Structure 1
Amino acid sequence: MELRQLQYFLAVAEELNFSRAAERLRITQPPLSLQIQNLEKDLGIPLFYRNNRHVELTDAGKLFFDEVCKIFDQLHRAIENAQRTHHGEIGTLKVGFVGSATYDILPAVLREFRSLYPDVQVHLFEMATPAQIQALREEEIDIGVLRPPVNSDALCTEIVSISPCMLAVPKQHPLTEKENIVLSDLNLYPFVMLSRKTWAGLYNEILALCNPMIQQEALEFQTVIGLVAAGLGIAVVPQSAMNLHTQHVVYLDLNNQLPSASMGVSWRRNNQSPLVKAFIEIAKEMR
């Protein structure tokens, strides 16, 4: 049984006239009749009652017609979905992200992506940068929204956000009264540090800048800010962390004495998915 035979059967079943069906299929009537006969022979049942004046589906033919229609509906959906997937209109995108991306560039990128690709399922996975790099290599995620640097030849990285860092201090801290803060002033106070496991680059830069007296470490900036609010110490945080504003924390600008904070998107170099390309382009436009 061939797909062409089923197409011929549908034409005859819908027209109930071999001449009209042949004209619709743009073939002559004899090969059409032969194909229907071969189909009935393959099935071992008659599909039509026919004579010189009349063509009618048998009961078996009516049931077969309903089922063949379902087959072609499914086939058309399969073709449409394959085409839409190829063009990036539907599918699934798995995105890893660092927690701090949720008060940086990620919400805006997701809003724009979802408005442009409403039929794409986006699955989000919160994880630290090292875990994202591993997940990208192992094809567990398609895109990582993370903190550079990313040292892997298998991955590409695009910087999508750069902002200065601020000094977060508890409200009424002595540093809030100081007009000109220099880095050596910071050595007098305990620090709350974002763990090296979460962002090794920033951790090492802070160590090199001011040799901090580390009181406590945390895995996420939300926790860092909370500990600063509790009075455990001061912290160097990205400017975007000010979105986590609390009445118990003051953010101080040290006039470019602190490092800059970069956010990047990474993906596998060999990943040619149109969805990945679209997400990256949107992220770049948000810079």
Structure 2
Amino acid sequence: MERQDIEVFLALARELHFTRTAERLRLAPASVSQTIKKLERRFGAPLFARSTRRVELTPLGRQLLDELGPAYAQVQTAIARATAAGHGTTGELRLGYMSAAIARHVLPLVDTFHAGAPGCRVTIRETALDNLYGPLRRAEVDLSILPLPVAEPDLTVGPVLLSEAALLAVPAGHRLARRDQVTPEDAAQETFLFAQNLPDYWIEHHLPLTRPSPTITRLPGFQEMLAYVTSGHGVAIVGAQTEQLYPRPGLTCVPFADGPTFDYAIVWRTGALTALASAFLHHAADGSGSSGRGGTPPRHLHGP
């Protein structure tokens, strides 16, 4: 049996519908019918019982499916493993990500990457906002998905995987809490809370206004920022999923009027991109519909 004959038989055995099988394999329905008839002539008996309403496997067809299906899966796995080894896409890939918001996008990417590169193992770890670049620079991870901007000479920025609206987190009783949206001018006199150790350019990028210079308080981490917001010690710029992922009584998140975003991109150590990391990078770029190296320029909260 030729490879296409096997694929047509296995697809029809699972779909039990000629038109759906043709669509799945991107073949003409007549081609599917011709392939099955050719196989039935070869085996000397029908593989499928056809009627105007349904298609069913015959006992011979069921026997062929039970024996051929697992064997063909093993062949496909062997081919995939050999291809992965030939292209250097075996071994372990260590992937970091910052924020639970990106986790739901990372895990499906890892699953589909595994399917195409069964010889590799991907491990993931969540990194901290107050130590954005440390795990990469210490080579604890090979790739890391980080909030932009990243303007570090030793790090390279790849495709953007997620853009979510940036919101203003305020206490529930705050003067802005009942607004449908806020402008940068509305928050100009507020104290803004940021995690410590963030680069000055990162904070400047996310501030609503450049003038007048707002008051900034730096805190140990993201959870501390939310605690300070709910206790009335300041406001914070957060992602759209904050209330869902980090629910806190007394916390309200209000959209900005001009629709700024938080953008998360894949980042790696410049000159240290392994073949396996490169394969995942291309897989992620294809899956996210992003533009590739350099990513999509994020919007500043204080305008272009």
- TM-score exceeds 0.5: yes
Question: What is the RMSD computed on CA atoms of the aligned residues?
Answer: 3.5
> What is the CA deviation profile of residues 162-189 of structure 1, one whole-angstrom value per residue up to 9, with x for unaligned ones?
3331111122322123466332332444
> What is the CA deviation profile of residues 184-237 of structure 1, one whole-angstrom value per residue up to 9, with x for unaligned ones?
332444332233x235444112162663333x4234434323432343321111
The Cα shift of 1:99 comes to 3.9
> What is the CA deviation profile of residues 125-182 of structure 1, one whole-angstrom value per residue up to 9, with x for unaligned ones?
42533324523xxx55321222332332673533333333111112232212346633
Does the Cα contact within 8 Å between 2:225 and 2:236 map onto a contact in 1?
yes
Does the Cα contact within 8 Å between 2:172 and 2:230 map onto a contact in 1?
yes
The Cα shift of 1:252 comes to 0.7
Three-state SS of the structure 2 residue aligned to 1:283 is helix
Structure-1 residue corresponding to 2:25: none
The Cα shift of 1:280 comes to 1.3
Change (3 A) 1:171 1:199: farther
Change (3 A) 1:110 1:241: farther
The Cα shift of 1:271 comes to 4.8
Structure-2 residue corresponding to 1:165: 166
Q: Does 1:121 align with 2:121?
A: yes
Identity %: 20
Three-state SS of the structure 2 residue aligned to 1:263 is strand
Does the Cα contact within 8 Å between 2:182 and 2:255 map onto a contact in 1?
no
The Cα shift of 1:101 comes to 5.7
What does residue range 76-95 of structure 1 map to in structure 2 within 5 Å? 84-87=84-87, 90-95=90-95
> What is the CA deviation profile of residues 47-100 of structure 1, one whole-angstrom value per residue up to 9, with x for unaligned ones?
xxxxxxxxxxxxxxxxxxxxxxxxxxxxxxxxx988743345631112233345
Three-state SS of the structure 2 residue aligned to 1:176 is coil
Q: How many equivalent pairs are there?
A: 202
Q: Distance in 1 between matches of 2:273 and 2:187?
A: 47
Q: Which amino acid aligns with 1:224?
A: M
TM-score by length of 1: 0.56
Q: Does 1:208 align with 2:210?
A: yes
**Residue segments in structure 1 that go unaligned for 5+ positions in a row:** 1-79
Q: Distance in 2 between matches of 1:104 and 1:219?
A: 25
Q: Does 1:183 align with 2:184?
A: yes
What does residue range 170-249 of structure 1 map to in structure 2 within 5 Å? 170-178=171-179, 181-195=182-196, 197-198=197-198, 200-205=200-205, 206=207, 208=210, 211-214=213-216, 216-246=217-247, 247-249=249-251
Change (3 A) 1:82 1:283: closer
Q: Which amino acid aligns with 2:186?
A: D
Does the Cα contact within 8 Å between 2:181 and 2:255 map onto a contact in 1?
no
Q: Distance in 1 between matches of 2:200 and 2:233?
A: 22
> What is the CA deviation profile of residues 18-63 of structure 1, one whole-angstrom value per residue up to 9, with x for unaligned ones?
xxxxxxxxxxxxxxxxxxxxxxxxxxxxxxxxxxxxxxxxxxxxxx
Three-state SS of the structure 2 residue aligned to 1:208 is coil
Structure-2 residue corresponding to 1:250: 252
Q: Distance in 1 between matches of 2:87 and 2:180?
A: 56
Q: Distance in 2 between matches of 1:265 and 1:198?
A: 18
Q: Distance in 2 between matches of 1:202 and 1:84?
A: 38
